[in-house]
Homo-oligomer: A and B are copies of this chain.
């Protein structure tokens, strides 16, 4: 395994531990080399109180836009559609202390059909892990219903 990939895994594990600390259940998908990878796999699933977050993890050394392949986003959305979960990109720029979570529908489509995390959009719409906690805590039936309706309208 390359040292870059190892570093990516160690950051995924960091995020798993953070979710765990916040009371979520969280699981990493199998390593990308796994045979089942061809089915469709997000990096992480975080679950709390019946609410499902489907997550692709992106970390970068420096604060610049992040580009993501179209295929990866299509797969993430398909996974989220089946699960009825929220498809999110988890972003951390090394040196910053906090993770931010951006809904895939807040990505910018590039001319070639791929997707971009725009830094201004991220600053404006990126959610903290506490915001995800709050979403998962709204357990009244009405809020669950609204939450799921929003998630549908995104997809």
Contacts and interface: CB of A to CB of B under 8 A. Distances in A.
A14 B41 CA distance: 16
A65 interface: no
Contacts of A144: 141, 144
Interface residues of A, number: 38
Given A13-B35, A30-B31, A45-B27, A148 B52 contact: no
Interface in A1-56: 13, 16-17, 20, 23-31, 34-36, 39-42, 45, 47-50, 52, 54
Contacts of A24: 82-83
A47 B85 contact: yes
Nearest to A148: B50
A63 B16 CA distance: 37
A72 interface: no
Interface of A: 13, 16-17, 20, 23-31, 34-36, 39-42, 45, 47-50, 52, 54, 78-80, 82-85, 141, 144-145, 148
